Amino acid sequence: MSYNTQMEAARKGIITQEMESVAKKECIDVAALRDLIAQGSVVIPANINHASLEPCGIGRGLKTKINVNLGVSKDCCDFASEMEKVRLAVAMKADAIMDLSCFGKTETFRQKLVQSSPAAIGTVPVYDAVGFYDKELEDISVEEFLGVVEKHARDGVDFMTIHAGINRETGRRLKNNPRLTNVVSRGGALLFAWMEINNRENPFYEYFDDLLEICRRFDVTISLGDACRPGSIKDATDASQIQELIVLGELTKRAWEKDVQVLIEGPGHMALNEIAPNMLLEKKLCHGAPFYVLGPLVTDIAPGYDHITSAIGGAIAAANGADFLCYVTPAEHLRLPTLDDMKEGIIASRIAAHAADLAKGVPGARQWDDQMSEARRNLDWAKMFELAIDPEKARRYRAESQPEAEDSCTMCGKMCAVRNMNKVLSKVNII
């Protein structure tokens, strides 16, 4: 029995190799996974042309996944250094990598990225359109926008951010309800500008069916972009954000009618108390589609530390239903991230994802923590390093400050509670 997409296969009762691989990694029943894909609650981004892919599942009941952004800009155009970031992201177990390159001819880099990365690859085609056609934004035609989408699909991109929800009506809502930070989504701002200059509807909204045909042909998962995501906590949960979310829910149903897999993208910047209600809103308005969030950043006052503000929000978001976290680095709002920035961002996001998995009771999540606690009780430093989310840093800290007693650390020395309890309970002298 033939099929074009993972969703179509699932709806026909077919269990694909990708489903088998994901079910094994997630320790769940493959038939149950197939049913979740069929109803749209789980996606497996897996372009038919991405031969090096090690598929991962994103959605209900699965481990929270993380995405790493990279790519060149006009001010920092070094594809070799971006490939170093790719290698680091893969080594640090990122589940997905988004190429957000927005300058020059990016085709060669994108193709090399797809060929070399086992992680799912995402892009934002509208970023590439200006450089690809070497045209002013307002001069790019509908056919050319769709042409870039098809080019990315042919190159093997697994999921694409498409800002189809910022249509003319959403734009009116935005203008009638002024914001502190307006539109902070780069793709959203480009399309808003294109619509305003040309006095036309968003091409990705108007020609959504043509977009779906491309995605169906290559099994590209549509990540419906949140052009109106809040760029400050003041703008969170406002009229334009909710208006766009309603449109995204409608587009989700249209995509599912064509057996195209869908992710929904979300905020953004948001105060702690608004995060859980926003997760509920998305799941309600977008019919349980997997939710992909940038942060949310829970305060606006920490440039240089936004990997922390993001991790706080990401843990709360994922514990309340978000399925996919986009990492944020300490360089957010300041510069293109370095390798060190990337590492900090990945670790912070992985901690947030795991903390949420503990709260959600994801199978296997607590076992990792229990193993670490057992190693600490036994003062088994080698095992602690092996289990650490960042073994290199843990080993370095231990090596930099050596204690007098090997079964302690320089914080407590022989007064170590764990050491002394072990000795007392085994009836051995403490000192």
In the chain, the domains with their CATH numbers are 45-360 (3.20.20.540), 365-425 (no CATH)
Does the structure show a pLDDT above 90 at 427?
Answer: no
Amino acid at 216: R
**pLDDT score of 131:** 82
Extract the runs of DSSP E, i.e. beta strands, from 163-254: 221-224
Provide long-range contacts, Cβ within 8 A and 24+ apart, for 146-151: 146/203, 146/207, 146/210, 146/211, 146/214, 149/125, 149/211, 149/214, 150/214, 151/107, 151/125
96 is in an annotated binding site: no
69 is in an annotated binding site: yes
163 is in an annotated binding site: yes
127 is in an annotated binding site: yes
Extract the runs of DSSP E, i.e. beta strands, from 168-296: 221-224, 262-266, 291-294
**pLDDT score of 3:** 95
Query: How many Å from the N-terminal Cα to the C-terminal Cα in the chain?
Result: 72
45 closest CA partner among 87, 7, 85, 89: 7
416 is in an annotated binding site: yes
Reported as a pLDDT band with limits 50, 70 and 90, residue 152 is: very high
**pLDDT score of 74:** 79
Extract the runs of DSSP E, i.e. beta strands, from 53-192: 58-59, 65-70, 96-99, 120-123, 159-162
Reported as a pLDDT band with limits 50, 70 and 90, residue 30 is: very high
Give this prediction's pTM.
0.96
Q: What is the mean pLDDT of the chain?
A: 95
333 is in an annotated binding site: yes
Give Cα 82 to chain centroid, integer Å: 18
**pLDDT score of 431:** 61
Under 8 Å between Cβ of 177 and 185: no
**Arithmetic mean of pLDDT, 296-314:** 98
98 is in an annotated binding site: yes
186 is in an annotated binding site: yes
Reported as a pLDDT band with limits 50, 70 and 90, residue 32 is: very high
**Arithmetic mean of pLDDT, 18-41:** 97
**Arithmetic mean of pLDDT, 32-57:** 98
Does the structure show a pLDDT above 80 at 103?
Answer: no
225 is in an annotated binding site: no
